[in-house]
Amino acid sequence: MASSGAINSIEHAVMGPTKYSLATRLPLSSGLSIPQIHLGVYLMSGREAGQAVKWALASGYQAVDSAQMYRNEAESGKAIREFLEDKSLNTQGLRREDIFFTSKLASNSDYTRARSAIKKSVETCGLGYIDLFLLHSPYGGKTARLASWKAVEDAVKDGEVRIGGVSNFGVKHLEELIASKPDMLPAVNQIEVHPFNTRTSITDFCQKNGIVVEAYAPLARAMRMQHPAIVKLSNKYQCTPAQLMVRWSLQHGFIPLPKSVSKERIEANGKIDFFEITKPDMETMDGLDEYLVTDWDPVDTD
């Protein structure tokens, strides 16, 4: 039987429920739902992505975050298809609609180019449709952003994409898009968020406007695993620093996208149901903010 996963309420999206599993889903403004933990496949070769996606799905993940720029949409999609067809791996009998695949537009330019780039991604992944398609960044200026968003809307209307969203959008970019009165609002904004870069102005704006925050680099790209506060709290909760950071993200109502090429780490990063971070400890972690940027930082671009 296919599993649709537990759907949390919007209230829980803000406060965080006590229990999470890899099948936990959050409701979106579009009316559809999204798994709350995704495997990120950035900086993986095609071969690594194919292997990591299979390990992740076999251990219970139901979502994969790829992009045109990662150059592994084909191998990620192929691994999903092979997993679904392999009864020895797909022991729950999951179907295509139970697995959530994300890709992103490499660059904003004009409507025609964006529209054909989206079609190309759908073809490349071989999954029939893409669950979530994002503008990867706000770069390119207002005209390119709005034209590219129109292309995402039309891809949703044409059934190539289920849900549209944005990534690396600052508050001003979201306000610009909302002010343009689009046919569809972005259901998610994928931004860098972890205890060392909390970006509360963007996350607060998103949560007030019904836009779910996807937290990229949720492990702070492994740059702060030895931070004394992280080590202390990991010891307290008998978890790894990575599990602590994934759990922090979930309890804030975000969607963390931890990346790993290691089978053991992929499995461990998704096992976050055996502890709950207390409110004071969440506040301690919130206080670690140092605006640590692990990759690019387009949120202020014009």
Ligand X SMILES: NC(=O)c1ccc[n+]([C@@H]2O[C@H](COP(=O)([O-])OP(=O)(O)OC[C@H]3O[C@@H](n4cnc5c(N)ncnc54)[C@H](OP(=O)(O)O)[C@@H]3O)[C@@H](O)[C@H]2O)c1
Residues that bind ligand X (CB under 6 A): 40-42, 65, 136, 167-168, 190, 216-222, 225, 240, 242, 257-262, 265, 268-269, 294-295
Q: How far is the CB of 207 from ligand X (least distance, A)?
A: 19
Report the SS3 class of residue 258: coil
C-beta of 12 vs 71, nearer to ligand X: 71
Report the SS3 class of residue 256: strand
C-beta of 232 vs 279, nearer to ligand X: 232
Q: How far is the CB of 55 from ligand X (least distance, A)?
A: 11
Task: Give me the residues paired with residue 255 across strands.
Answer: 214
Task: Tell me the residue number closest to ligand X, measured at CB.
Answer: 40
Q: What burial letters (b/e) apply to 27-64, b meaning 16+ CB within 10 Å?
A: bbbbeebbbbbbbbbbebebeebbbbbbbbbbbebbbb
Q: How far is the CB of 53 from ligand X (least distance, A)?
A: 12
Q: Which one of 136, 173, 194, 252 is the catalytic residue?
A: 136
Would residue 129 show up in a list of annotated catalytic residues for this protein? no
In this structure, are residues 61 and 255 in contact, taking their beta carbons and an 8 Å threshold?
no
Q: How far is the CB of 57 from ligand X (least distance, A)?
A: 15
C-beta of 57 vs 91, nearer to ligand X: 57
Q: How far is the CB of 260 from ligand X (least distance, A)?
A: 3
Q: Which one of 70, 173, 194, 216 is the catalytic residue?
A: 70
- Stretch (H or E) spanning 173: helix 171-179
Q: How many CB atoms lie within 10 A of CB 101?
A: 25
Would residue 136 show up in a list of annotated catalytic residues for this protein? yes
Query: Is the Cα dihedral 229, 230, 235, 238 positive or negative?
Result: positive
Distances 143 to 105, 148, 198 between C-alpha atoms, Å:
16, 8, 29
Query: Is the Cα dihedral 233, 237, 242, 246 positive or negative?
Result: negative
Q: Active-site residue numbers?
A: 70, 136
